[in-house]
């Protein structure tokens, strides 16, 4: 580990456990910090809290008492999902306590450089593509963040020869102070997480933080086709590398004559790429940009692109049953992701959608829903999605209680040659702990059909 002095002998409050809080507490204790953990879940139900107490870390469970700040703290490291409107966070900021997220800890202790990938959609696919390309190019990458292992857990064992490829959310980026990736990637910006950020401007500002500490020795990889991204990238002092699916560029990564180029160098014909969907071309261009900046040979890039078919829960092919193909896109937690998933297919689609109600309507989805044969809805947003489906002219719209029931209903509505697609356009938290849990239930229900 590198710069542990920032945290050694400091009093640090971990607010909220989950995977990142548990990992941060252990790392901080190992480097000599005094750690206190506060988590909302009662102790008797809290396995992570019990684990920490066994190794001598003080844990306060069952709520977030404001009195906890009566003790002196040098830092608070909060779970990314806890909003800044939380009373403890509000009071801590008033008292001048620095509030961070775990990615900042990872950055300080890591001997390896970081690649940071963010955006409203496509983060997981792009992060995985970059990791696989670097691995094929013998660059010793490690994968961390929202995908894979918690970043500080990876960083504590990283060596200088490694590269940490990190998927980053806007929630994580709000809690950085000095974090500065060698290569920062911003894929796109769409109206997302407005229940957390309040306004689109706040959301864009959070995404833009990935660039704010970069220097002229770093790289900023950005989507030239998204004007919000272009504006956000302006704050970066790094060398800029654009990618575009619509424009032919003199420098950067682009498509010409159905072929991907980096600068003037031909990389691969689109027809050779295994990953389905037009929306994935942006993710591929971003990944190629990063790979080329690390001097990954073209043959290694081509090897990945001709074999990689996607990540779990992101337009994941599951099974074909009686001529119906099932796809799991549970990670589609917003409208843009579902629009992209629908556009990836030419066959008739039975769409399974619904979930947490964040207060938005689904008018932006209506145009894509015109290509949908039938709609099966569930969760808090079922009625809103039904309204959008009717506006799109869908005649078959059925309500069910949950994802498992939706699979059977969709199969009954389908014909041979149809696509049955779970792409909820909503977060999962009304019925499930995570989108992964929702996707796994879908997969199990599909297999039961056999």
Looking at domain 316-449, its CATH class is: alpha beta
DSSP bridge pairs for 143: 165
Q: Where in the chain are all domains bearing CATH 3.40.50.720?
A: 11-100
pLDDT of 192: 56
The helix (run of H) or strand (run of E) holding residue 255 is strand 253-256
pLDDT of 197: 52
Q: How far is CA 175 from the centre of its chain?
A: 16
pLDDT along the chain (450 residues), means of 10: 84 93 96 95 93 96 93 94 91 95 96 96 93 97 88 95 95 93 94 62 90 97 97 96 96 96 97 87 97 98 94 86 95 90 91 94 95 97 97 97 97 96 96 94 95
Q: What is the CATH number of domain 104-305?
A: 3.40.1190.10
120 is known to lie in a ligand binding site: yes
Q: Where in the chain are all domains bearing CATH 3.40.1190.10?
A: 104-305
149 is known to lie in a ligand binding site: no
119 is known to lie in a ligand binding site: yes
Q: Where in the chain are all domains bearing CATH 3.90.190.20?
A: 316-449
pTM here is: 0.81
Contacts of 199 (CB under 8 A, 6+ apart): none
pLDDT of 200: 79
pLDDT of 178: 96
pLDDT of 195: 61
pLDDT of 191: 61
d(CA 427, CA 353): 10
169 is known to lie in a ligand binding site: no
* Edge-to-edge strand ranges of the sheet holding 98-100: 58-61, 34-39, 11-15, 75-78, 98-100
What superfamily does domain 11-100 belong to in CATH?
NAD(P)-binding Rossmann-like Domain (3.40.50.720)
* Edge-to-edge strand ranges of the sheet holding 316-321: 316-321, 324-328, 419-422, 349-353, 372-377, 396-399
121 is known to lie in a ligand binding site: yes
439 is known to lie in a ligand binding site: no
123 is known to lie in a ligand binding site: yes
């Amino acid at each position: 580990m590198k710069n542990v002095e920032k945290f050694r002998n400091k009093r640090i409050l971990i607010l909220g456990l989950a995977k990142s809080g548990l990992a941060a507490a252990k790392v901080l204790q190992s480097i000599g910090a005094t750690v206190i953990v506060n988590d909302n879940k009662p102790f008797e139900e809290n396995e992570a809290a019990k684990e920490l107490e066994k190794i001598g870390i003080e844990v306060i469970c069952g709520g977030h008492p404001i009195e906890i700040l009566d003790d002196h703290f040098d830092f608070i490291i909060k779970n990314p999902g806890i909003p800044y409107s939380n009373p403890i966070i509000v009071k801590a900021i008033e008292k001048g306590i620095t509030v961070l997220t775990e990615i900042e800890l990872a950055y300080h202790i890591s001997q390896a450089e970081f690649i940071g990938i963010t955006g409203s959609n496509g983060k997981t696919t792009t992060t995985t593509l970059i990791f696989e390309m670097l691995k094929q190019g013998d660059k010793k990458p490690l994968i961390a963040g929202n995908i894979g292992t918690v970043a500080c857990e990876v960083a504590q064992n990283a060596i200088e020869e490694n590269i940490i490829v990190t998927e980053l959310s806007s929630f994580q980026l709000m809690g950085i102070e000095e974090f500065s990736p060698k290569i920062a990637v911003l894929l796109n910006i769409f109206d997302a997480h407005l229940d957390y950020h309040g306004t689109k401007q706040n959301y864009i500002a959070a995404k833009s933080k990935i660039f704010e500490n970069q220097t002229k020795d770093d790289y900023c990889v950005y989507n030239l086709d998204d004007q919000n991204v272009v504006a956000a990238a302006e704050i970066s002092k790094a060398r800029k590398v654009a990618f575009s699916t619509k424009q032919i560029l003199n420098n950067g990564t682009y498509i010409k004559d159905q072929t991907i180029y980096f600068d003037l160098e031909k990389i691969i014909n689109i027809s050779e790429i295994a990953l389905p969907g037009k929306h994935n071309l942006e993710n591929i261009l971003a990944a190629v940009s990063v790979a080329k900046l690390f001097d990954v040979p073209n043959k290694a890039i081509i090897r990945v692109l001709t074999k990689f078919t996607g990540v779990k829960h992101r337009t994941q092919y599951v099974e074909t049953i009686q001529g119906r193909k099932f796809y799991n896109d549970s990670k589609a937690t917003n409208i843009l992701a579902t629009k992209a998933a629908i556009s990836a297919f030419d066959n008739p689609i039975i769409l399974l959608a619904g979930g947490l109600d964040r207060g938005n309507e689904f008018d932006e989805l209506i145009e894509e829903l015109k290509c949908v044969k039938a709609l099966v809805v569930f969760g808090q947003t079922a009625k809103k999605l039904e309204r959008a489906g009717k506006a799109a002219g869908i005649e078959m719209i059925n309500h069910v209680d949950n994802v498992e029931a939706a699979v059977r209903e969709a199969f009954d509505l389908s014909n041979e040659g149809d696509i049955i697609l779970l792409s909820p356009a909503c977060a999962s938290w009304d019925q499930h702990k995570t989108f992964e849990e929702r996707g796994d239930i879908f997969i199990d229900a599909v297999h039961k059909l056999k």
